Amino acid sequence: MLSHILKRLGHTVLVIIGISIISFVFLQLSGDPVGLMLPQDATSQQIEELRHKLGLDDPVIFQYLRFAGNALQGDLGRSLFSNEPVAGLILERLPATVELAFFSMAFALVIALPIGIVSALKRGTIIDTASMILALFGLSMPHFWLGIMMIMLFSVQLGWLPTSGRGSFLHIIMPAAAMGISMVALFARLTRSTMLEVLGQDYVRTARAKGLPGYLVIGKHALKNAMIPVITMIGMEFGLLLGGAVIIETVFAWPGVGRLIVQAIMDRDYPVVQGAVMLLAMVFVMVNLLVDLAYGWLDPNVSLQGESK
Amino acid sequence: MTMNAGPPLLEIDRLSIDAVSAGRQVRLVDEVSLNLQAGQVLGLVGESGCGKSLLSYSILRLLEPGLRIAGGNIRLEGKSLTDLSERKIRAIRGNEISMIFQEPLTALNPVFTVGDQVAEVFRTHRGMSKAEARRKAVDALAEVGVPSPEIRVTQYPADLSGGMRQRVMIAMALACRPKVLIADEPTTALDATIQAQILELMRGLQRNFGTAIIFISHDLGVVAEVADRVAVLYCGRVVEEAPVAELFQNPRHPYTRGLMRAVPQPDAEVMPAILHEIKGNVPRPGHLPGGCRFHPRCPIARDICTTSDPQRIKVGADHHVACWEATDAH
Ligand SMILES: Nc1ncnc2c1ncn2[C@@H]1O[C@H](COP(=O)(O)OP(=O)(O)O)[C@@H](O)[C@H]1O
Ligand SMILES: [Mg+2]
């Protein structure tokens, strides 16, 4: 198991280096920030001076190595506009984004798993059809619209929940629900189909033949096997949640990284975009590392293979 | 073994099983009656698709959705199993009647240890603590000849060979000393040496524990090695039933004789001369021929066989057959 973890950690480091190179190169291709930082009528000498000052006239490889070296020491440079340290700017907002992603996922799973399991057990009945249609409704509603509707109902009409901002648990309910609902259909259908497949397996029949009660046959023997593909999907969706929260963060004035990135892109604020992409990618890679380890726990054959190699 | 020694331990009484889909019913098992005496081994043979597995699943009410018991009854020591509540049938499964299956590869759950899966039976039916059940699991594995059982209990099915897995299945099935063991093609997926070992193990355990066994196989040769009595199934019906020695010496149904052709015979001249291979295929359920179900494949079919169904008749002490040839000879 330990060597499995070490191997996965090694992969993770390689992936992070890859991400840093790619995000660096793409930003190079996206244009020069100096034009935006100086007034329209700046002389070409002023432009050259600023480029030199920012190190933008060095060879690209140099710029990257400088970036990577500093990043290793926790220094992601400074914002070209506010001059604040990038690492600080992002870390200030990262917890909010991760928190929102986490609760959105939790919201989706708490609803989707029972729906998926019950639909599989009651396949072909009205319960099955109804819950699948219900889940599809969630998928087909744009989440910014859902968010606005929720604010109108729960904040404006009923006054139960705060409209925006971050703070108490009450603040996170609506943004998490608005983001989570679109994933309910995905996870419910995945759970239903893997559960159906698992329920037809011989070992489920064996569990029944042993006289185990239904909650053990379904909740233990079938569920643990059915969760393996679901865990994979959780890891993949988590990345989308981290990067795709921009709209919901805007609707609910959620102080996350998404809004920071959008602003930085519009400003061509290189260091901020790069740093944010890097950190989000790292969180994503870490989550997938956790997913991998969860695999080892769910499916002994995975970790065994890791060991024997 | 004595005949008719009191009421049977397990009694299958004119049992029928239907598949129901889109409002259409297809009969898969048709009024099968079988008796199993305590301590006896009843062999059930027939080609693949004749309903052996369905018959065995129905005993513990393990038929999948879409299949149902359409008639008849199953009784264990006189009490009916077909109308028991789910809770009561659960208390019988793995406890008074257990099952082992054809594919040891897939019959064990890949994500739980072998020890956990054996221990579950003790926890469910004996209410044992985790630690106690784990100790009993080690004993149960030792009983079926699994080497170093205290290590095996911590391993996963993928770490075990096919033969070892089938031993684990047997250990699990016999854990609570059931009165009846249903073995559905327990050796079919194993190679010949391992198959012989597993058969030997089952014979030994059967002698020690006195468990009655329903032993299912498509291979009459394998059944002959373990069974006291044999029932031959064709298209969801019992076509012949007799004690094993009687059946081999005096097979009355052409289908039984056909099955014997596939078995290496030590004294081949005993076999009647009229035999040919069983030609043709097993008819699909729902597309059965009229008259005797076997007549399109039967080497001795006559006019009457195409029009009416032969009744089951007694042709010897404890020997029954359903064939016009035998009927006319009486
Ligand atoms: N769920 C099902 N729905 C419809 N037909 C089935 C189903 N399961 C099995 N059958 C049919 O029932 C017949 C008997 O099957 P089975 O008992 O598995 O045969 P055996 O074990 O003797 O090989 C086969 O013809 C098979 O096609
Ligand atoms: Mg079968």
pLDDT tens per residue across span A83-120: 888 888 888 888 889 899 999 999 999 999 999 999 99
Q: What is the share, in percent, of chain A residues with pLDDT greater than 70?
A: 95
Interhelix angle for B192-209 vs B162-174, to 10°? 20
pLDDT band at B273 (very low <50, low <70, confident <90, very high): very low
Tens-digit pLDDT profile for residues B54-75: 999 999 999 988 899 999 999 9
pLDDT at B277 (0 to 100)? 58
Q: Which residue has the tokens 């038929």?
A: B63
Q: Whose CA is nearest to atom 6 of ligand 1?
A: B19
How many CB atoms are located within 10 Å of the residue B200 CB?
13
In sequence order, the 6+-apart residues with CB closer than 8 A to the CB of B100 are B107, B166, B169, B170, B173, B181, B182, B183, B184, B186
Cα angle at B309 between B307 and B315, to 5 degrees? 130
Buried-state track A142-180, b at ≥16 Cβ within 10 A, e below 16: ebeebbeebbeebeeeeeebbbeebeeeebbbbbbbbbb
Residues of chain A positioned with their CB less than 8 A from the CB of B67: none
Report which secondary-structure segment, H or E, holds B43: strand B41-45
Q: What are residue A106's phi and psi, to 5 degrees?
A: -60, -45
Mark yes or no for CB contact B111/A209 under 8 Å: no
Mark yes or no for CB contact A211/B110 under 8 Å: no
Whole-number Å distance, alpha carbon B54 to ligand 2 midpoint, is 7
Q: Whose CA is nearest to atom 18 of ligand 1?
A: B53
Tens-digit pLDDT profile for residues B155-177: 999 999 999 999 999 999 999 99
Cα angle at B211 between B202 and B80, to 5 degrees? 130
Give the DSSP letter string of B214-267. EEEES-HHHHHHH-SEEEEEETTEEEEEEEHHHHHHS--SHHHHHHHHTS--TT
Is the separation of the CB atoms in B215 and B226 below 8 Å? yes
* Alpha carbons B277 and B261: distance in angstroms, whole number: 7
Nearest to B315 by CA among B327, B324, B305: B327
pLDDT > 70? residue A143? yes
pLDDT > 70? residue B2? no
Is the separation of the CB atoms in A101 and A243 below 8 Å? no
* Ligand 1 contact, B236 CB (< 6 A): no
Q: Which member of A203, A211, A298 has the closest CB to residue B108?
A: A203
Q: Which member of A201, A209, A211 has the closest CB to residue B125?
A: A211
Report which secondary-structure segment, H or E, holds B10: strand B10-21
Whole-number Å distance, alpha carbon B57 to ligand 2 midpoint, is 10
* Alpha carbons B48 and B234: distance in angstroms, whole number: 10
Give me B199's structure tokens: 């058969």
How many CB atoms are located within 10 Å of the residue A200 CB?
11
Average pLDDT, chain A: 84
* Ligand 1 contact, B44 CB (< 6 A): no
Tens-digit pLDDT profile for residues A50-69: 878 777 778 888 888 887 88
User: How far is C-alpha B279 from the chain's CA centre?
Assistant: 25
pLDDT at A31 (0 to 100)? 67
Quote ipTM for the complex. 0.88
Is the separation of the CB atoms in B296 and B289 below 8 Å? yes
Q: Which residue has the tokens 């793409």?
A: A26
pLDDT at B264 (0 to 100)? 54
Chain A, nearest residue to B156 by Cα? A300
Residues of chain A positioned with their CB less than 8 A from the CB of B156: 300-301, 304
pLDDT band at A49 (very low <50, low <70, confident <90, very high): confident
**Best residue for ligand 1 mutational test, from B20, B53, B59, B223 (most atoms within 8 Å of Cβ):** B53
* Interface membership of B118 toward A (CB under 8 Å): no
Report which secondary-structure segment, H or E, holds A300: helix A300-308
Mark yes or no for CB contact A209/B93 under 8 Å: yes
* Interface membership of B91 toward A (CB under 8 Å): yes
Average pLDDT, chain B: 89
pLDDT at B270 (0 to 100)? 47
Mutate to test the interface with A, among B81, B97, B111, B155 (most CBs of A within 10 A): B111
pLDDT > 80? residue A27? no
Tens-digit pLDDT profile for residues A69-84: 888 888 877 887 888 8
A–B interface: beta-carbon pairs under 8 A? 77
Q: State mean pLDDT over B131-139.
A: 95
Q: What is the share, in percent, of chain A residues with pLDDT greater than 90?
A: 21
* Alpha carbons B155 and B117: distance in angstroms, whole number: 11
pLDDT > 60? residue B1? no
* Interface membership of A303 toward B (CB under 8 Å): no
Specify the pTM: 0.82
pLDDT at B272 (0 to 100)? 45
The pocket of ion ligand 2, defined by CB under 5 A, consists of: B 53
pLDDT at B40 (0 to 100)? 93
Q: What is the share, in percent, of chain B residues with pLDDT greater than 90?
A: 70
Tens-digit pLDDT profile for residues B174-219: 999 999 999 999 988 888 889 999 999 998 989 899 999 999 999 9
- Of the bound ligands, which one is closest to the alpha carbon of residue B32? 1
How many CB atoms are located within 10 Å of the residue B77 CB?
13
Give me B327's structure tokens: 């009927």
pLDDT > 80? residue A302? no
Nearest to A94 by CA among A254, A247, A288: A254
Is the separation of the CB atoms in B103 and B189 below 8 Å? yes
* Alpha carbons B177 and A277: distance in angstroms, whole number: 63
Tens-digit pLDDT profile for residues A253-263: 888 888 888 88
Per DSSP, the three-state class of A298 is helix
pLDDT band at B5 (very low <50, low <70, confident <90, very high): low
* Ligand 1 contact, B67 CB (< 6 A): yes
pLDDT band at A1 (very low <50, low <70, confident <90, very high): low
pLDDT > 80? residue B127? yes
